[in-house]
Chains A and B, each alone.
Chain A
Amino acid sequence: MFFWIVQRDLLLAVRRRSDVLTTLFFFIIVVSLFPLSVGPEMNMLRTMAPGVVWVAALLASMLSLGRLFASDYLDGTLEQMLLSPQSLPILVLGKALAHWMVSGVPLVMMAPVLGIQYDLPLDALFVLTFSLLLGTPVLSLIGAIGAGLTLGLRGSGVLVSLLVLPLYIPVLIFGAGAVEANMAGIAFDAHLSLLGAFLLVSIVFAPWAAAASLRVSME
């Protein structure tokens, strides 16, 4: 069931490639806007880079949350999924995993290129990519709660950002913090360990909360 959901959502995403590309290009554009607004001074850009890339990843991941449940909700598939005897949290976990593979993984792969634009040193690029790799699944998992709660509401796009962005803050702090620590020459493994801990905790609890929120929204 879990793999079936992942496979199905990935197939749907492949059939509608533009959605994936829109999120990716949003990410690229936001990151590229910062040098234009604060100036091309390389030293400043280098210190800003981890924060800028992470904030842009947060926003991009959040913008694509609308697609997580909305189309299944509109065509009635979601209702069938809720009625099925399968465990709903597992199903939500599958959908969140597919969402991450569609919207998170492209960002992770793009991040080193954007880091080069900001003149990040090589090992900082590795840390940046790795921190995004650990952090972006957490964003998809927490986002699933918000997406479930705002399902079918008017203005749900803005609302989901109000609900979800404050909850993203710890991920942002430790994700960007890992890169900054690496650039400052201090140990960054504690940050990555904490990001990993967030990931494990959210794998256990977020599908459960998101399933509860779907049940509330579909009553």
Chain B
Amino acid sequence: MGSFFHRHKGVTPYLLLAPGILWLAIFFLIPLAFLGYQSLQSGLFPDFQFTWEFSNFSNAIRDYHEQFARSFVYAGIATIACLVLAYPLVYWIAFRAGPWRNLFLLFIVAPFFVTYLVRTLAWLNILADEGPVVGVLRDLHVLGPDGRLLATTFAVVSGITYNFFPFMALPIYVSLEQIDPRLLEAAKDLYASSTQAFLRVTLPLSAPGIVAGTLLTFIPAAGDFINAALLGTPSQAMIGNVIQAKFLESLDYPSAASLSFLLMGSILVALLIYARIVGSERLTG
């Protein structure tokens, strides 16, 4: 065996890659090809025929462009909210929390030991009309006497923000934690103010974490349906809700498959635009 690898040195990387590639082929490419095949079918359940039915795609855009747009807007707002909330928090943990770092990181991750669904259901109680949050906001006249938080856009976006928070916080933490403090000392020695040191040293060095965090948050958030289903109303329906209903309720698999493809495609386009703006070397770390 040893002599085999010795003689065929060039083969080793491919052998090491093989399990991963096989995994991708079986669990990503084949299902994707099947989804593509299904998206061009026509007919009624269970007798779908493959007919190159490209109208599935145009119909999907015609009927559901609103839900598509909403998904991207909600995911975008949630991603920005995650960033604004997470950055100062993990900055503090990375530079100021000292020996308590791991404990605080645990606090960020701890809610995620509970399943996604239960976490979201918890918000039903927290934001309930007769619950404590709404009560306080009504007393402060932030909300009117009949005002509510649940079943609003605010609730859905908040739910998404909450559920994807660690995906933003952890990558940023990792990139901040790796910053050599001597670089900041050097900046100070060169008469940089704290603000200047942050903007010219810390922020650029943490950019890979920010980019990774935004991708990890935005992509799944755009396809999310649980938050809109539990915390929203029909006016907050996202594209994930439409796909779910097409698959489960109408048994309209071709439409569902074409919607899934469109979602994937539009995320890819958004990603490419993002890559152009931030520079592709940061996307790949």
On whether the two chains bind one another, the answer is: no
Please report B residues at the A interface, Cβ cutoff 8 Å: none
Please report A residues at the B interface, Cβ cutoff 8 Å: none
